[in-house]
Amino acid sequence: MTELDPAVQQFVDAVNAGDAEAFFKTLTADASMSDDGQERDLADWTASEIFSTNGRMKVESVSGPTEFVADYSNDRWGGMRTAWRFTVRDGLISRFETGQA
């Protein structure tokens, strides 16, 4: 099985720990993201979709060091199958894209 890039693994671990401080340490200062193809404000999105709603992800399959499919759940939407893709620059995540898989 392909292993995740260390920055991506730290991202997953921080989400699952509910640790916003550790989460933001995985990102570049200018990090950006999209959800279902729509650009989102990263701070607002992570607050509403991860940290204030108990977001958790269980990685189901890894297609490369920066791509995986996960069962993602939070208190707002319940569970859903999601695809995640990351751009890693100098050991930090500069962009991530997620959406239903």
**DSSP of 27-78, one letter per residue?**
EEEEEEEEETTEEE-HHHHHIIIIITTT-EEEEEEEEETTEEEEEEEETTTE
Mean of the pLDDT values across residues 67-86?
96
Q: Are strands 56-64 and 67-74 parallel, antiparallel or unpaired?
A: antiparallel
Structure pTM?
Answer: 0.95
For the chain, which residues make up each domain, given as ranges? 6-100
Mean of the pLDDT values across residues 60-65?
95
Residue 2 pLDDT class (50, 70, 90 cuts): confident
Tokens of 64: 């490369």
Tokens of 40: 């989102």
The domain 6-100: what is its CATH number? Answer: 3.10.450.50
